[in-house]
Amino acid sequence: MGKQFLEITEKKEVDAIIACVAAEVEEARAKTDASVEKVKVAEALGRIVSADVFSALNVPPFDRATMDGYAVVASDTFYADENNPASLIITGSISAGESPSQYVDKGYCMGISTGAPLPKGANATVKVENTSEYADGAAGKKTKKVKVYKPVAPGENIMLAGSDINRGARIVRRGTTLTPRETGVLAACGLNEVAVYKKPTVAIISSGNEMIAPGEDLEPAKIYDVNSQALSDSVRECGCSPYFLGIARDNTEDISERLNESLEKGVDVIIVSGGTSAGVGDLLPKVIEELGEILVHGVDIKPGKPFIFGTLQGTPFFGLPGNPTSALVTFNLFVAPLLRTISGIPVQNHEKGVRRKEKRIKAKAAQRIFSERGRNEYVLVNLVSAKKPEEVSIIAYPILTGSGAITTLAKADGYIFMEKGKEIIEEGEEVDVELLTNLFASKKLYQNYDTLRSG
Amino acid sequence: MGKQFLEITEKKEVDAIIACVAAEVEEARAKTDASVEKVKVAEALGRIVSADVFSALNVPPFDRATMDGYAVVASDTFYADENNPASLIITGSISAGESPSQYVDKGYCMGISTGAPLPKGANATVKVENTSEYADGAAGKKTKKVKVYKPVAPGENIMLAGSDINRGARIVRRGTTLTPRETGVLAACGLNEVAVYKKPTVAIISSGNEMIAPGEDLEPAKIYDVNSQALSDSVRECGCSPYFLGIARDNTEDISERLNESLEKGVDVIIVSGGTSAGVGDLLPKVIEELGEILVHGVDIKPGKPFIFGTLQGTPFFGLPGNPTSALVTFNLFVAPLLRTISGIPVQNHEKGVRRKEKRIKAKAAQRIFSERGRNEYVLVNLVSAKKPEEVSIIAYPILTGSGAITTLAKADGYIFMEKGKEIIEEGEEVDVELLTNLFASKKLYQNYDTLRSG
């Protein structure tokens, strides 16, 4: 069943195929409430809002004093100065949190604290610094009064009800990632819950007879499974929840079983990495063909050539190389854009249907870099910030340990794309480096970035 | 008790005082195991490693084939070519995950899969593409043989045990923030646990008689508490755990009680914001003086002048303005650097004892911006990416709604620092913008950044 591409597909075409499936999945998710959940604002940091949020109230909810002083009728203070202060009778005072019960008439005023509601009748606040209180009248019949030395205009030192946020105003847009600023605004409007997109669940399966899980005893001929961990954490960095299904042995039954379990669980995406054993290159496509459709089998890039993309009963499926560095590079190139799309982040930077969301910085090649003729090559690089007098820049060192080494993964901050036809990058040439992990999550790059930008 | 600075302190001096306390707290934490915990690698993404991690094993643990083909004695293949292939007897085959039991002698070979351990005697792998299998000898006594058409050098197409990571090698340095790359390397070495710094706990107290918690009914004269939410999430963004102690009323008992609760709980830092009620400006310093020491009371910046810093029984204490925008600006300026220090991120960019870790980008002023004479002013700005032909840049719009408005907070992407003496920024002038939230957490900035960098 299904169409099968056994030939190598061009990267651009692969991007377009994945973007198309991503858009379909996103649309399907948007039609169902199953992709949305209400969460406490207290736990919503970093989540993506699924519907525009409107304020049910005015902020501030009442006309509010913005200074400590006296609530007055502004016209009572016009023309007042040091020599001719206005004199007003104080009828009481209002603290923040208290409701004023009195009306302020011309010739009268009330003491007021910052944040307290303005009493009716008053239309401005005189700062306490521009006043002096005194007692007036005969002993035993003293009246509390205040001299006002500076005039105020109507509306001065008050914030009108709804002037900050009007009842009914949109306060957070659909698709916004919540930062402390937005959670603060939600709180200001009295909201303690918010509707967000559910985090897509991503099934992760490692495959290989030689794999064992970290923490287990190392048996002869076995190696520890790296990809389950590295891919789970990469999935987390894309705002999704990994669902680890363990290590599958290299046989049809074991892989089928885990794929079926993923589908029954209702995961949003499935990733299988590996295995490296002989014959296994044919095993995975065979299983996929039985359960769904292969759309891409092989892409014209290095590393990552044996990449597979397809759908299993409508669920996007990725087959990544077993080699950890290749797995992480293909994850960044192909899986991450799809995860971002189905997470509900609105499309902004479209480029021929392909979402561009790589984290990219400019650097200089530390040495001559060669690419294999006729291949789109991703050269892993280590970034170091170089500080020469009057010049700060980031230097990119190609990592030469090869894509099979774990240490390549450990050293790699990002990769340079050498398009087919580009066979040499000269020493000192400016290159674009796509970062492998979140810029600020990676301390080292954070510092480089700091240096670069503030230098 | 204690020294008290009632005068306004210069920002630089405040930075130095805070850096000094931060270093003391960090040192005290480093001396005790209480600041370190073991966590599962599966839950360690983003955590900071508290001690260098070394590999207890070789990676790979054995000499490993990196190609499908035949494990051979390399010298058997020397001088082989299409016309004169070397002919070797096949004694068996090894799949990935299997232990080879046989020895490979000169003249013999074994089939081998990528990832399988190299059998003893063999020192290279011939790629399957450069071979052809055949059966040799009389019927009934056939021997399986392989013709090798290309020579291999010793070590070719194999990865030697420990060549990737040597037993005893340091794989992760103390102070590293774990990304998928590092968690992958830990997995490669079989580790499923890692020692990390405990997240510092930060007590958060809002103060004000007019405050009520979001979700509660809005009573007359009350407003919803914004700072608890915005500061809790800011604390989370700094890698710490907020511990919310509720809203304190503006009286000595209520504030003291919550401060004592924080100290009993053993929090690492205490933040009180507000209140705006009259007389409360004196209340907090009084309470602090009773329990500890005030080191800063007032700083020469706007917004944020009434900032307080001190220690309560050795625990750093911050008194932030009640106004949410001022609270968030002072948090970024003064609290965040201390939180980063005590989180265990190693000191790298010291500048006269003050850690510089702001997230900064360059932008152009959208219009003339004025500052108040004689004040260090932080002007909040909204960032918009502007794309002119042949030029991509970020434009900074000053936000004029005032620091009291919640919408100022909502619109602000960052702030421009106008040092005392700098009273005007001209339209189009290049300015440094300190970002209020994580660059990539904020979607809008992410896009701007993308555009800026890839444009």
Between A346 and A62, residue with greater pLDDT: A62
Q: Which of residues 136-195 of A touch B (CB under 8 A)?
A: 159, 163-165, 171, 175-193
Q: Which of the residue ranges A334-338, B221-225, B355-359 would you say has the lowest mean pLDDT?
A: B355-359
Q: Which of residues 297-356 of A touch B (CB under 8 A)?
A: 322, 324, 328, 345, 348-349, 356
Retrieve residue A391's tokens.
């010049």
pTM value is 0.85
pLDDT tens, position by position, A290-299: 899 999 998 9
Please tell me the distance in Å from B171's CA to the nearest CA on chain A.
Answer: 8
For the purposes of burial, counting CB atoms within 10 Å of the CB of B195, is it exposed (0-12), middle (13-18) or buried (19 or more)? middle
- B275 preceded by a cis bond (ω within 30 of 0): yes
Q: Round to whole Å and give the CA distance between A56 and A72.
A: 30
Q: Which of A59, A191, A229 sits opposite B41 (nearest CB)?
A: A229
pLDDT tens, position by position, A86-98: 999 999 999 999 9
pLDDT tens, position by position, B50-68: 999 999 999 999 999 999 9
pLDDT tens, position by position, A317-345: 999 998 888 898 899 999 999 998 888 87
pLDDT level of residue B351 (50, 70, 90 thresholds):
very low
In this prediction, residue B330 carries a pLDDT of 92
Q: Round to whole Å and give the CA distance between A134 and A144.
A: 6
Full DSSP string of A432-447: EEEESS-TTTSHHHHH
Quick check: A46 contacting B, CB < 8 Å? yes
- The answer on pLDDT for A63 being more than 90 is yes
Closest CA to A126 of A163, A75, A161: A75
In this prediction, residue B279 carries a pLDDT of 57
- How far lies A436's CA from each of A47, A414, A442, B92, B417, in Å? 22, 5, 10, 42, 32
Q: Round to whole Å and give the CA distance between B146 and B87.
A: 6
pLDDT tens, position by position, B329-348: 899 999 999 998 898 876 54
pLDDT level of residue A409 (50, 70, 90 thresholds):
confident
- The answer on pLDDT for B352 being more than 80 is no
The structure tokens 């351990």 sit at B117
In this prediction, residue A312 carries a pLDDT of 95
Average pLDDT on B23-52 reads 90
Residues B70, B91 contacting (CB under 8 angstroms): no
pLDDT tens, position by position, A134-164: 999 888 889 999 999 999 999 999 999 999 9
Residues sharing a CB contact under 8 Å with residue A32, sequence separation 6 or more, in sequence order: none
pLDDT level of residue B411 (50, 70, 90 thresholds):
confident
In this prediction, residue B296 carries a pLDDT of 93
Retrieve residue B303's tokens.
């917004």
The residue of chain A nearest to residue B340, with distances taken between CA atoms, is A443
pLDDT level of residue B237 (50, 70, 90 thresholds):
confident
Closest CA to A206 of A250, A251, A248, A259: A248
Amino acid at A398: P
Around Cβ B25, how many Cβ atoms within 10 Å? Answer: 21
As a whole number of Å, the end-to-end CA separation of chain A is: 58
Q: SS in 3 state form for A199-255?
A: CCEEEEEEECCCEECCCCCCCCCCEECCHHHHHHHHHHHCCCEEEEEEEECCCHHHH
- The answer on pLDDT for B33 being more than 70 is yes
Q: Round to whole Å and give the CA distance between B225 and B213.
A: 6
pLDDT tens, position by position, B88-131: 999 999 999 999 989 999 999 999 998 999 999 999 999 999 99
**Mean residue pLDDT across chain B:** 86
Q: Which of the residue ranges A10-14, A42-46, B372-376, B450-454 would you say has the lowest mean pLDDT?
A: B450-454
> Mapping DSSP to helix (H, G, I), strand (E, B) and coil, where does residue A282 land?
helix
pLDDT level of residue A382 (50, 70, 90 thresholds):
confident
- The answer on pLDDT for A404 being more than 80 is no
Q: What is the Cα Rg of chain B in Å?
A: 32
B12-21 burial code (b ≥16 CB/10 A, e <16): eebbebbbeb
**Mean residue pLDDT across chain A:** 86
Q: Round to whole Å and give the CA distance between B396 and A324.
A: 42
Quick check: A215 contacting B, CB < 8 Å? yes
pLDDT tens, position by position, B290-314: 899 999 998 988 888 889 999 999 9
The structure tokens 């409360």 sit at B280
Quick check: B455 contacting A, CB < 8 Å? no
In this prediction, residue B102 carries a pLDDT of 92
Q: Quick check: B405 and A57 CB within 8 A?
A: no
Residues B57, A218 contacting (CB under 8 angstroms): yes
> Mapping DSSP to helix (H, G, I), strand (E, B) and coil, where does residue B120 land?
strand
Q: Quick check: B324 and A223 CB within 8 A?
A: no
Quick check: A101 contacting B, CB < 8 Å? no
Q: Which of residues 350-409 of A touch B (CB under 8 A)?
A: 356-362, 401, 404-407, 409
- How far lies A97's CA from each of A190, B406, B407, in Å? 16, 18, 22
pLDDT level of residue B392 (50, 70, 90 thresholds):
low
The structure tokens 């509707």 sit at A195
pLDDT level of residue A436 (50, 70, 90 thresholds):
confident
Q: Quick check: B409 and A278 CB within 8 A?
A: no
Q: Quick check: A180 and B440 CB within 8 A?
A: no
In this prediction, residue A412 carries a pLDDT of 84
Q: Round to whole Å and give the CA distance between B333 and B327.
A: 10
Between A142 and A455, residue with greater pLDDT: A142
Please tell me the distance in Å from A248's CA to the nearest CA on chain B.
Answer: 13
In this prediction, residue A442 carries a pLDDT of 37
Q: Quick check: A98 and B221 CB within 8 A?
A: yes
pLDDT tens, position by position, B154-206: 999 999 999 999 999 999 998 888 989 899 999 999 999 999 999 999 999 99
- The answer on pLDDT for A406 being more than 50 is yes
- The answer on pLDDT for B322 being more than 60 is yes
pLDDT tens, position by position, A10-42: 889 999 999 999 999 988 887 877 789 999 999
ipTM above 0.90, yes or no: no
Q: Quick check: B409 and A175 CB within 8 A?
A: no
Average pLDDT on B58-79 reads 95
In this prediction, residue B442 carries a pLDDT of 37
Q: Which of residues 117-136 of A touch B (CB under 8 A)?
A: 117
Closest CA to B315 of B255, B272, B353, B266: B266
Residues in chain B: 455
